[in-house]
Chain A
Amino acid sequence: MSKDTVLVVEDDQLLREVIEDLLHIHKIKVKTVGDSSEANDWLEEYIPGLIICDLFLPTVSGIQWLNSVSEGLVANKSSIILLSADHERTHEMLVGSPIQSLVKHQLKKPFKNDELVRLIRFFRPNS
């Protein structure tokens, strides 16, 4: 599991399962995790080409977590899609942060499945 795997960080189990099902149907390799700690464990061994991250995680915000692991993500030129409700507020949080250049898109919940798949195909390397 490496760059062609999409890492999905979403704390809502049901939505996580839906995204996993969707990506399996479209034959996109995916690893889903429910919080930053689980994500950190996975990142110790693997490098994702693309991360789909919820803005609110159980203990930290999605942006805080992404900033905390930004060194590896920047070095590997990983792309990030943020799942958020308030684009303006998210943009304010992103300005000047280490991961700003890696965030390729903000997707508002609820989203169209086709749009998510299209974005993944576009931003995921080797696809």
Chain B
Amino acid sequence: MRDATSVPLDVTHIQLSQNIEHLLLQINAHLTYDHFVSSVLEHELRTPLAGIVSTVQLLQAQLEAHEAELPDTLQKWCDRLEKLSTRMEFLLENMKQLHNNNYSSASAGKQTRKLTNWLINERKSLGELIKSSQILDLKLQMLDESFEYTTDYHLLSIILGTLVENASKYSPDNARMDILLEQSQEILRLKVIDNGVGLGANSSVHLIKAFQRGQEVEHIEGSGLGLSIAHAAAQRIQAQLVLYDNENAPGTTAELILSNNDICQKTLF
């Protein structure tokens, strides 16, 4: 003889299964739709960007063909458009990468590499993100130069690129910037140090919030979205990103704090 309570329990169990199945289908549909919307958005943003880039190229080619001397102002505007386009494309790539990363498992993009080798190699491409008159130096303060670190290097690359680009944007022409990698027993610090305008007295150390800007940099183009991307990417790799004014010198330091995973493991086990 069946327990009086077992019938409704069975029914509830079936209903619950059906509800969960329905919920999973809905979640899947939402994720698929979200992915689709992002793809379309990226494509739609790339279209006007392509128009700008091609127009600048056309203008430059026409002027060269006619050996016309470009007035300084016009040349400056062309250069600016070119830089803005490069920046937009860089942001689009980063947004896409972050989006793709959100849909993959936490370990999907992880690799184990020699951190110093990666950074030396990365330094070569960072020159494109700074003004031609600026200098970017790399300094290594490692306990072990052959230290191997496991992380998502693509995201790390996005963060470093964004910080360098940001430092360049807020620094004057001919300025010098440093990338410094420091290793201690438990912490790795990747710093981008500039001697630009600084964060300003009213800015918090945790400046990173979409579209939030330091008061002293409002005259410079850009939305601050780059730092938000860097912040989101840092969260994805379990790192912390902080910005602070340099002590006894003008400028800002952007510091990415990474856990020294190998050493942490040795300490714990």
**Across-interface contacts of A54 in B (CB, < 8 A):** 47
User: Which stretch, B55-63, B138-146, B192-200, B207-215, touches the partner chain A?
Assistant: B55-63
Complex Cα spacing A108 to B46, Å: 9
A108 partner residues in chain B, CB cutoff 8 A: 46
> Does B54 interact with chain A (Cβ within 8 Å)?
yes
Q: Is A19 touching B54 in the complex (CB atoms < 8 A)? A: yes
- Given the interface contacts A56-B40, A85-B39, does A113 sit within 8 Å of B46 by beta carbon? no
A86: Cβ under 8 A from any B Cβ:
yes
Report chain B residues within 8 Å CB of A109.
43, 46-47, 49-50
Is the contact region of chain B dominated by helix, strand, or loop, or is it mixed?
A: helix
Chain B residues within 8 Å of A21, by CB:
58
Q: How large is the interface on A (under 10, 10 to 19, 20 to 34, 35 or more residues)?
A: 20 to 34
**Does A14 have its Cβ within 8 Å of any Cβ on chain B?**
yes
Pairwise interchain contact A111-B40, C-beta atoms closer than 8 A: no
- Interface SS of chain A: helix, strand, loop or mixed? mixed
- CB-CB under 8 A from B49, the residues of chain A are 109-110
- A62 to nearest B CB, angstroms? 10
Task: Kindly state whether residue B52 has any CB partner on chain A within 8 Å.
Answer: yes
- B82-119 residues with Cβ-Cβ distance < 8 A to A are 85, 89, 96
B44 within 8 A of A: yes
* In contact, A56 and B57 (Cβ under 8 angstroms): no
**A18 close to B (CB within 8 Å):** yes
Contact assessment for B43 and A84 in the assembled complex, using a CB-CB cutoff below 8 Å: yes
Which residue of B is nearest A84, CB measured?
B43
Q: Are B85 and A113 in contact (CB under 8 A)?
A: no
Select from chain A the residue with minimum beta-carbon distance to B47: A12
The answer to whether residues A85 and B58 also contact, given A12-B51, A15-B51, A110-B53 and a CB cut-off of 8 A, is: no
A interface residues, Cβ below 8 angstroms from B = 12, 14-15, 18-19, 21-22, 25, 54-56, 83-86, 89, 108-114
Supply 13 A–B pairs (Cβ within 8 Å), ascending by A. A12-B47, A15-B47, A15-B48, A22-B54, A25-B58, A25-B61, A84-B43, A85-B42, A85-B43, A86-B96, A109-B49, A110-B46, A112-B57
